[in-house]
Protein backbone atom coordinates (compact mmCIF):
# COMPACT_ATOMS: atom_id res chain seq x y z
CA UNK A 1 0.00 0.00 0.00
CA UNK A 2 1.31 3.45 -0.93
CA UNK A 3 1.84 5.83 2.01
CA UNK A 4 -0.54 8.79 2.36
CA UNK A 5 0.50 12.01 0.67
CA UNK A 6 2.36 14.74 2.54
CA UNK A 7 -0.74 16.95 2.22
CA UNK A 8 -2.88 14.32 3.92
CA UNK A 9 -0.27 13.86 6.61
CA UNK A 10 -0.10 17.60 7.35
CA UNK A 11 -3.90 17.90 7.35
CA UNK A 12 -4.16 14.91 9.66
CA UNK A 13 -1.55 16.34 12.02
CA UNK A 14 -3.37 19.68 12.19
CA UNK A 15 -6.72 18.01 12.82
CA UNK A 16 -5.23 15.72 15.44
CA UNK A 17 -3.66 18.72 17.16
CA UNK A 18 -7.01 20.52 17.16
CA UNK A 19 -8.81 17.51 18.57
CA UNK A 20 -6.15 17.01 21.21
CA UNK A 21 -6.71 20.61 22.28
CA UNK A 22 -10.46 19.91 22.46
CA UNK A 23 -9.89 16.89 24.68
CA UNK A 24 -7.43 18.72 26.95
CA UNK A 25 -9.82 21.67 27.23
CA UNK A 26 -12.30 19.40 28.98
CA UNK A 27 -11.52 19.82 32.66
CA UNK A 28 -9.60 23.10 32.33
CA UNK A 29 -10.04 25.14 35.51
CA UNK A 30 -12.14 28.30 35.21
CA UNK A 31 -13.06 31.08 37.59
CA UNK A 32 -11.73 34.29 39.12
CA UNK A 33 -8.36 35.34 37.61
CA UNK A 34 -8.36 32.33 35.25
CA UNK A 35 -8.80 32.32 31.45
CA UNK A 36 -12.34 31.93 30.17
CA UNK A 37 -13.34 28.54 28.80
CA UNK A 38 -12.49 27.91 25.14
CA UNK A 39 -14.90 27.16 22.31
CA UNK A 40 -13.91 23.49 22.54
CA UNK A 41 -15.20 23.26 26.12
CA UNK A 42 -17.23 26.45 26.51
CA UNK A 43 -19.14 25.90 29.76
CA UNK A 44 -17.69 26.75 33.18
CA UNK A 45 -19.41 24.40 35.62
CA UNK A 46 -20.42 25.34 39.16
CA UNK A 47 -17.36 23.42 40.38
CA UNK A 48 -14.95 25.53 38.31
CA UNK A 49 -14.06 23.30 35.35
CA UNK A 50 -14.68 23.76 31.63
CA UNK A 51 -16.66 21.25 29.60
CA UNK A 52 -19.18 20.84 26.80
CA UNK A 53 -21.63 18.26 28.13
CA UNK A 54 -24.80 18.54 30.21
CA UNK A 55 -23.46 18.72 33.78
CA UNK A 56 -21.10 21.53 32.74
CA UNK A 57 -23.65 23.58 30.79
CA UNK A 58 -26.78 23.12 32.92
CA UNK A 59 -27.55 24.26 36.47
CA UNK A 60 -24.65 26.17 37.99
CA UNK A 61 -22.89 26.91 34.69
CA UNK A 62 -21.24 30.27 35.38
CA UNK A 63 -21.71 32.78 32.53
CA UNK A 64 -18.94 35.02 33.86
CA UNK A 65 -16.21 32.47 33.13
CA UNK A 66 -17.73 30.47 30.28
CA UNK A 67 -16.67 31.17 26.69
CA UNK A 68 -19.66 33.53 26.39
CA UNK A 69 -22.68 34.04 28.69
CA UNK A 70 -24.75 32.21 26.07
CA UNK A 71 -22.54 29.09 26.38
CA UNK A 72 -24.58 28.07 29.42
CA UNK A 73 -27.96 26.48 28.78
CA UNK A 74 -30.96 28.77 29.40
CA UNK A 75 -32.34 28.39 32.93
CA UNK A 76 -35.93 27.16 33.42
CA UNK A 77 -38.38 29.85 34.57
CA UNK A 78 -39.87 30.02 38.03
CA UNK A 79 -43.28 28.37 38.46
CA UNK A 80 -45.20 28.50 41.76
CA UNK A 81 -45.69 25.09 43.36
CA UNK A 82 -45.51 23.09 46.57
CA UNK A 83 -43.19 20.14 46.19
CA UNK A 84 -43.71 17.10 48.40
CA UNK A 85 -41.65 13.93 48.62
CA UNK A 86 -43.97 10.99 49.14
CA UNK A 87 -41.90 9.36 46.39
CA UNK A 88 -38.94 10.29 44.21
CA UNK A 89 -40.73 10.14 40.85
CA UNK A 90 -40.00 13.84 40.20
CA UNK A 91 -36.40 13.64 41.42
CA UNK A 92 -33.61 12.85 38.95
CA UNK A 93 -31.25 10.90 41.18
CA UNK A 94 -28.48 10.73 38.55
CA UNK A 95 -27.40 14.28 37.65
CA UNK A 96 -25.52 13.08 34.55
CA UNK A 97 -28.84 12.00 33.02
CA UNK A 98 -30.57 15.34 33.50
CA UNK A 99 -31.06 17.08 30.12
CA UNK A 100 -32.60 20.40 31.16
CA UNK A 101 -36.19 19.13 31.08
CA UNK A 102 -37.78 20.92 34.04
CA UNK A 103 -41.19 19.65 32.95
CA UNK A 104 -40.16 16.06 33.64
CA UNK A 105 -38.03 16.72 36.73
CA UNK A 106 -38.49 19.07 39.69
CA UNK A 107 -35.23 18.22 41.45
CA UNK A 108 -31.77 16.84 40.67
CA UNK A 109 -29.47 15.06 43.12
CA UNK A 110 -26.15 16.78 42.37
CA UNK A 111 -24.25 14.51 44.74
CA UNK A 112 -24.93 11.91 47.40
CA UNK A 113 -28.07 9.86 47.98
CA UNK A 114 -31.70 10.80 48.61
CA UNK A 115 -34.08 8.20 50.06
CA UNK A 116 -37.85 8.31 50.55
CA UNK A 117 -39.79 7.12 53.58
CA UNK A 118 -43.11 7.42 51.75
CA UNK A 119 -43.84 10.76 53.38
CA UNK A 120 -40.59 12.71 53.15
CA UNK A 121 -37.21 12.73 51.46
CA UNK A 122 -34.12 11.78 53.44
CA UNK A 123 -30.82 13.43 52.50
CA UNK A 124 -27.95 11.26 53.68
CA UNK A 125 -24.35 11.71 54.74
CA UNK A 126 -21.97 8.77 55.02
CA UNK A 127 -18.24 8.47 55.50
CA UNK A 128 -17.95 7.85 51.75
CA UNK A 129 -20.47 10.07 49.95
CA UNK A 130 -19.37 13.49 51.25
CA UNK A 131 -22.98 14.48 51.92
CA UNK A 132 -25.97 15.07 49.67
CA UNK A 133 -27.15 18.11 47.71
CA UNK A 134 -30.60 18.41 46.14
CA UNK A 135 -31.18 21.23 43.62
CA UNK A 136 -34.37 22.50 42.01
CA UNK A 137 -34.47 22.31 38.22
CA UNK A 138 -36.37 25.61 38.02
CA UNK A 139 -34.92 28.93 39.05
CA UNK A 140 -36.46 31.60 41.27
CA UNK A 141 -35.91 35.23 40.31
CA UNK A 142 -37.28 36.81 43.46
CA UNK A 143 -39.98 35.02 45.39
CA UNK A 144 -40.77 33.26 48.66
CA UNK A 145 -39.41 29.80 49.41
CA UNK A 146 -40.34 27.75 52.48
CA UNK A 147 -38.68 24.46 53.37
CA UNK A 148 -40.25 22.22 56.01
CA UNK A 149 -37.52 20.02 57.45
CA UNK A 150 -35.80 18.35 60.38
CA UNK A 151 -32.06 18.87 60.75
CA UNK A 152 -29.24 16.52 61.60
CA UNK A 153 -27.96 16.72 65.18
CA UNK A 154 -24.50 15.24 64.72
CA UNK A 155 -21.34 17.14 65.54
CA UNK A 156 -19.59 18.37 62.40
CA UNK A 157 -22.63 17.82 60.18
CA UNK A 158 -24.32 20.90 58.67
CA UNK A 159 -27.88 21.22 57.38
CA UNK A 160 -28.40 23.89 54.71
CA UNK A 161 -31.33 25.46 52.85
CA UNK A 162 -30.16 28.08 50.34
CA UNK A 163 -30.79 29.81 47.06
CA UNK A 164 -27.81 29.80 44.67
CA UNK A 165 -27.44 31.63 41.36
CA UNK A 166 -25.08 30.72 38.53
CA UNK A 167 -22.90 33.75 39.32
CA UNK A 168 -22.85 32.89 43.04
CA UNK A 169 -25.53 35.17 44.42
CA UNK A 170 -26.58 33.20 47.49
CA UNK A 171 -29.03 33.42 50.38
CA UNK A 172 -28.47 31.02 53.28
CA UNK A 173 -30.20 29.26 56.12
CA UNK A 174 -27.76 26.95 57.90
CA UNK A 175 -27.89 24.77 60.99
CA UNK A 176 -24.45 23.71 62.21
CA UNK A 177 -23.79 20.49 64.03
CA UNK A 178 -25.24 20.08 67.46
CA UNK A 179 -26.97 23.48 67.63
CA UNK A 180 -30.49 22.08 67.52
CA UNK A 181 -32.17 25.16 68.99
CA UNK A 182 -30.96 27.70 66.40
CA UNK A 183 -30.31 28.53 62.76
CA UNK A 184 -28.08 31.05 61.02
CA UNK A 185 -28.66 33.46 58.12
CA UNK A 186 -26.36 35.09 55.61
CA UNK A 187 -26.11 36.16 51.96
CA UNK A 188 -23.48 36.46 49.23
CA UNK A 189 -23.23 38.76 46.22
CA UNK A 190 -21.33 37.19 43.31
CA UNK A 191 -19.51 34.95 45.75
CA UNK A 192 -18.67 37.69 48.23
CA UNK A 193 -20.05 37.17 51.73
CA UNK A 194 -21.49 39.84 53.99
CA UNK A 195 -20.89 38.98 57.62
CA UNK A 196 -21.98 42.30 59.12
CA UNK A 197 -24.19 42.36 62.20
CA UNK A 198 -27.86 42.06 61.37
CA UNK A 199 -27.11 40.11 58.21
CA UNK A 200 -25.15 37.15 59.49
CA UNK A 201 -27.59 36.39 62.29
CA UNK A 202 -27.95 33.50 64.71
CA UNK A 203 -31.56 32.93 65.68
CA UNK A 204 -32.00 31.02 68.92
CA UNK A 205 -34.86 29.57 70.93
CA UNK A 206 -36.15 26.97 68.45
CA UNK A 207 -37.58 23.72 69.71
CA UNK A 208 -35.42 20.66 68.96
CA UNK A 209 -34.79 21.08 65.21
CA UNK A 210 -33.79 17.41 64.93
CA UNK A 211 -37.12 15.99 66.08
CA UNK A 212 -39.61 18.81 65.47
CA UNK A 213 -40.69 20.02 62.02
CA UNK A 214 -39.99 23.71 61.39
CA UNK A 215 -40.83 25.91 58.40
CA UNK A 216 -37.82 27.98 57.30
CA UNK A 217 -38.61 30.79 54.86
CA UNK A 218 -36.50 32.97 52.58
CA UNK A 219 -38.60 35.86 51.28
CA UNK A 220 -36.43 37.38 48.54
CA UNK A 221 -37.82 40.46 46.82
CA UNK A 222 -36.22 43.14 44.60
CA UNK A 223 -35.99 45.56 47.53
CA UNK A 224 -35.35 43.35 50.56
CA UNK A 225 -34.71 39.86 51.96
CA UNK A 226 -36.49 38.54 55.03
CA UNK A 227 -35.80 35.28 56.85
CA UNK A 228 -38.53 33.61 58.92
CA UNK A 229 -39.10 30.49 60.97
CA UNK A 230 -42.61 29.12 61.54
CA UNK A 231 -44.05 32.34 60.16
CA UNK A 232 -42.08 34.65 62.46
CA UNK A 233 -39.72 37.13 60.74
CA UNK A 234 -36.26 37.01 62.31
CA UNK A 235 -33.98 39.02 60.00
CA UNK A 236 -34.41 41.70 57.32
CA UNK A 237 -31.91 43.34 54.99
CA UNK A 238 -32.76 45.94 52.36
CA UNK A 239 -31.20 46.42 48.96
CA UNK A 240 -30.49 50.06 49.85
CA UNK A 241 -28.27 48.91 52.72
CA UNK A 242 -26.01 46.98 50.31
CA UNK A 243 -24.76 49.98 48.32
CA UNK A 244 -21.02 49.57 47.76
CA UNK A 245 -18.59 51.90 49.52
CA UNK A 246 -17.85 53.68 46.23
CA UNK A 247 -21.56 54.16 45.58
CA UNK A 248 -21.33 52.41 42.20
CA UNK A 249 -23.48 49.29 42.71
CA UNK A 250 -25.76 47.39 45.05
CA UNK A 251 -24.08 44.24 46.30
CA UNK A 252 -27.38 42.45 46.60
CA UNK A 253 -28.47 39.02 45.32
CA UNK A 254 -30.34 39.76 42.11
CA UNK A 255 -29.93 36.88 39.66
CA UNK A 256 -32.10 33.76 39.07
CA UNK A 257 -31.29 31.07 41.62
CA UNK A 258 -31.88 27.41 42.20
CA UNK A 259 -33.26 26.22 45.54
CA UNK A 260 -30.85 23.83 47.23
CA UNK A 261 -31.12 21.58 50.30
CA UNK A 262 -28.08 19.78 51.61
CA UNK A 263 -26.35 17.90 54.37
CA UNK A 264 -22.61 18.39 54.27
CA UNK A 265 -19.52 17.38 56.30
CA UNK A 266 -17.84 20.39 57.89
CA UNK A 267 -16.16 18.41 60.64
CA UNK A 268 -13.50 16.65 58.58
CA UNK A 269 -9.73 17.00 58.43
CA UNK A 270 -9.71 18.93 55.15
CA UNK A 271 -11.85 21.74 56.65
CA UNK A 272 -10.38 24.81 58.29
CA UNK A 273 -10.28 24.62 62.08
CA UNK A 274 -12.69 27.53 62.34
CA UNK A 275 -15.21 25.65 60.18
CA UNK A 276 -14.80 22.51 62.27
CA UNK A 277 -15.35 24.45 65.50
CA UNK A 278 -18.39 26.26 64.04
CA UNK A 279 -19.95 22.92 63.08
CA UNK A 280 -19.50 21.42 66.56
CA UNK A 281 -16.28 19.45 66.06
CA UNK A 282 -15.22 16.44 64.06
CA UNK A 283 -17.82 13.97 62.76
CA UNK A 284 -18.05 10.74 64.75
CA UNK A 285 -18.98 7.84 62.47
CA UNK A 286 -19.16 5.38 65.38
CA UNK A 287 -22.23 6.77 67.16
CA UNK A 288 -25.21 4.53 67.79
CA UNK A 289 -27.35 6.63 65.42
CA UNK A 290 -24.87 6.31 62.57
CA UNK A 291 -24.17 2.60 63.11
CA UNK A 292 -27.89 1.76 63.25
CA UNK A 293 -28.85 3.80 60.16
CA UNK A 294 -25.64 3.74 58.18
CA UNK A 295 -25.87 7.51 57.66
CA UNK A 296 -26.66 10.87 59.21
CA UNK A 297 -29.79 12.46 57.79
CA UNK A 298 -31.84 15.56 57.04
CA UNK A 299 -35.57 14.94 56.63
CA UNK A 300 -37.38 17.09 54.05
CA UNK A 301 -41.17 17.11 53.97
CA UNK A 302 -41.89 19.88 51.47
CA UNK A 303 -40.66 22.97 49.65
CA UNK A 304 -43.16 25.69 48.72
CA UNK A 305 -42.22 28.24 46.04
CA UNK A 306 -44.09 31.45 45.26
CA UNK A 307 -42.65 33.44 42.34
CA UNK A 308 -42.32 37.20 42.78
CA UNK A 309 -45.20 39.30 41.41
CA UNK A 310 -42.64 41.04 39.19
CA UNK A 311 -42.48 37.85 37.12
CA UNK A 312 -46.04 38.39 35.95
CA UNK A 313 -44.83 41.40 33.98
CA UNK A 314 -41.98 39.44 32.36
CA UNK A 315 -43.30 35.99 31.64
CA UNK A 316 -45.77 35.34 28.82
CA UNK A 317 -47.18 32.16 27.39
CA UNK A 318 -44.18 31.54 25.12
CA UNK A 319 -41.38 32.37 27.57
CA UNK A 320 -39.43 29.41 28.88
CA UNK A 321 -36.13 30.56 30.34
CA UNK A 322 -33.77 33.07 31.85
CA UNK A 323 -30.62 33.94 29.86
CA UNK A 324 -27.56 36.05 30.65
CA UNK A 325 -25.93 38.85 28.68
CA UNK A 326 -23.09 41.19 29.61
CA UNK A 327 -23.37 44.92 30.16
CA UNK A 328 -20.94 47.33 28.54
CA UNK A 329 -20.14 49.21 31.74
CA UNK A 330 -16.88 49.00 33.66
CA UNK A 331 -18.43 46.87 36.40
CA UNK A 332 -18.70 43.89 34.01
CA UNK A 333 -21.83 42.66 35.78
CA UNK A 334 -24.17 40.46 33.75
CA UNK A 335 -27.86 41.09 33.43
CA UNK A 336 -30.70 38.66 32.93
CA UNK A 337 -33.53 38.59 30.42
CA UNK A 338 -36.53 36.32 29.91
CA UNK A 339 -36.47 34.36 26.66
CA UNK A 340 -38.41 31.88 24.55
CA UNK A 341 -35.32 29.64 24.28
CA UNK A 342 -35.73 26.00 25.27
CA UNK A 343 -33.86 24.71 28.30
CA UNK A 344 -33.35 21.27 26.75
CA UNK A 345 -29.84 20.30 25.73
CA UNK A 346 -31.00 18.86 22.39
CA UNK A 347 -33.13 16.27 20.67
CA UNK A 348 -32.69 12.67 21.74
CA UNK A 349 -30.47 10.62 19.47
CA UNK A 350 -28.12 13.42 18.44
CA UNK A 351 -24.49 12.57 18.86
CA UNK A 352 -22.91 14.52 21.69
CA UNK A 353 -19.75 16.61 21.09
CA UNK A 354 -17.72 14.21 23.20
CA UNK A 355 -18.87 11.21 21.16
CA UNK A 356 -18.01 13.01 17.94
CA UNK A 357 -14.59 13.92 19.28
CA UNK A 358 -13.92 10.37 20.43
CA UNK A 359 -14.91 8.98 17.03
CA UNK A 360 -12.66 11.39 15.14
CA UNK A 361 -9.73 10.76 17.47
CA UNK A 362 -10.16 7.01 16.94
CA UNK A 363 -10.22 7.49 13.18
CA UNK A 364 -7.08 9.63 13.25
CA UNK A 365 -5.31 7.12 15.44
CA UNK A 366 -6.05 4.61 12.68
CA UNK A 367 -4.46 6.96 10.12
CA UNK A 368 -1.35 7.46 12.23
CA UNK A 369 -1.06 3.70 12.76
CA UNK A 370 -0.17 3.51 9.05
CA UNK A 371 3.10 5.31 9.75
CA UNK A 372 4.21 3.01 12.57
Can you tell me the distance from the alpha carbon of 63 to that of 90, in angstroms, rounded to the nearest whole number?
27
Q: Answer yes or no: are the C-beta atoms of 227 and 253 closer than 8 Å.
A: no
Residues sharing a CB contact under 8 Å with residue 63, sequence separation 6 or more, in sequence order: 69, 70, 71, 72, 166, 167, 324, 334
Q: Answer yes or no: are the C-beta atoms of 220 and 253 closer than 8 Å.
A: yes
Catalytic residues: 170, 174
C-alpha dist (Å) from residue 316 to 29, 305, 313: 38, 19, 8
Backbone angles phi, psi at 356, to 5 degrees: -65, -45
Q: How many CB atoms lie within 10 A of CB 137?
A: 24
Can you tell me the distance from the alpha carbon of 172 to that of 202, in angstroms, rounded to the nearest whole number?
12
Q: Answer yes or no: are the C-beta atoms of 102 and 137 closer than 8 Å.
A: yes
Q: Answer yes or no: are the C-beta atoms of 107 and 136 closer than 8 Å.
A: yes
Q: Answer yes or no: are the C-beta atoms of 218 and 171 closer than 8 Å.
A: yes
Radius of gyration for the alpha carbons in the chain, expressed in angstroms and rounded: 23
Amino acid sequence: MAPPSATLLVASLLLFSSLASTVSAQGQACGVNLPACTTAAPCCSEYGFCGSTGPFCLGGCNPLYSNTPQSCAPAPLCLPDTYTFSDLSRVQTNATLYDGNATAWDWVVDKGTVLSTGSEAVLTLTAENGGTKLSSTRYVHYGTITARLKTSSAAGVVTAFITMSDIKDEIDVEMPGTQTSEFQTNYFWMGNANYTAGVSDTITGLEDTRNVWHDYTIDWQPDQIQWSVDGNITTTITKESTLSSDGQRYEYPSTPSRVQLSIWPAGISSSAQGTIDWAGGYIDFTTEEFVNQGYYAVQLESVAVTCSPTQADLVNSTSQSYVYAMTNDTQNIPYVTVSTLSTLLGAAGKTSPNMKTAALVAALMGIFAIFI
